[in-house]
Chain A
Amino acid sequence: AQSVAQPEDQVNVAEGNPLTVKCTYSVSGNPYLFWYVQYPNRGLQFLLKYITGDNLVKGSYGFEAEFNKSQTSFHLKKPSALVSDSALYFCAVRGALTGGGNKLTFGTGTQLKVEL
């Protein structure tokens, strides 16, 4: 079975400061990892993914994430937060060996609040 943990329900950060949203995962075999963002009354918007290769993945809107296999983590980061980054962030995982299926398992989400 695959699972994702996002230990923080909410993260508060001042605008201009770096932000980190934490994610750890459990999956059989190699993981495919994803970050999505959700704004109020909207669907999920893809930010970035790790499939293979470099552990540091760069995505949309200045976000990046670092894959750490030994710690089974995939933390989302941004060097300088904006008020407009305030939203609900989801980490998701699927195993590489799923017979081609696209079933994603999501974490519970982390509400990011960026204040002036």
Chain B
Amino acid sequence: KAGVTQTPRYLIKTRGQQVTLSCSPISGHRSVSWYQQTPGQGLQFLFEYFSETQRNKGNFPGRFSGRQFSNSRSEMNVSTLELGDSALYLCASSPTLRTASPYEQYFGPGTRLTVT
């Protein structure tokens, strides 16, 4: 099976712009979670989508949003970018409970966002 894919891998944006990141989960996985990784704050949970519905949300401002499509692919959007949004954004997908490996999350390689 192909792993979790994220596009683009690298992105450079200017303050005030907006950005959209994409994540394609492992085939058959319906849960997609997003995390932000920075040297200062570590790994922080952004949100989780399951069957096109947001199931969990972390403590991030409303500038961070996401959605999931019927094929389980997910996008996250950050509007009005700030310098502090520079980070590695990781996407993870999870199988349903009725599988051999429930609860595990499989991570993509991430999108490195640099805001200048």
**Interface residues in chain A, defined as those with a beta carbon under 8 Å from any beta carbon in chain B:** 32, 34, 36, 42-46, 49, 51, 90, 94, 98-109
Partner of B43, one of A49, A90, A98: A90
Instruction: Point out residues on B near A: beta carbons under 8 Å.
Output: 4, 31, 33, 35, 42-45, 48, 50, 55-56, 58, 90, 92, 94, 97, 102-110
Question: Is A102 touching B33 in the complex (CB atoms < 8 A)?
Answer: yes
For the A-B complex, the count of residue pairs with Cβ-Cβ distances under 8 Å equals 62
Residue contact A103 to B33, C-beta cutoff 8 Å: yes
Smallest Cβ distance from A59 to chain B, in angstroms?
11
Give complex CA distance A90, B105 in Å.
13
In contact, A100 and B55 (Cβ under 8 angstroms): yes
A residues less than 8 Å from B45 (CB atoms) = 103-105
Please tell me if the beta carbons of B107 and A44 are within 8 angstroms of each other in the complex: yes
Instruction: State the CA gap A51–B97 with chains docked (Å).
Output: 12
Contact A109 B48 (CB under 8 A): no
For B33, the closest partner residue in chain A by CB is: A102
The contact of A101 among B44, B55, B106, B110, by CB within 8 Å, is B55
Residue pair A103, B48 in contact (C-beta under 8 Å)? yes
> Is the CB–CB distance between B103 and A43 below 8 Å?
no
Contact partner of A43 among B33, B56, B104, B107, CB < 8 A? Answer: B107
Query: Which 9 pairs of residues, A with B, have the shortest CB-CB distance?
Result: A43-B107, A106-B43, A44-B107, A101-B56, A103-B56, A43-B109, A108-B42, A101-B55, A102-B94
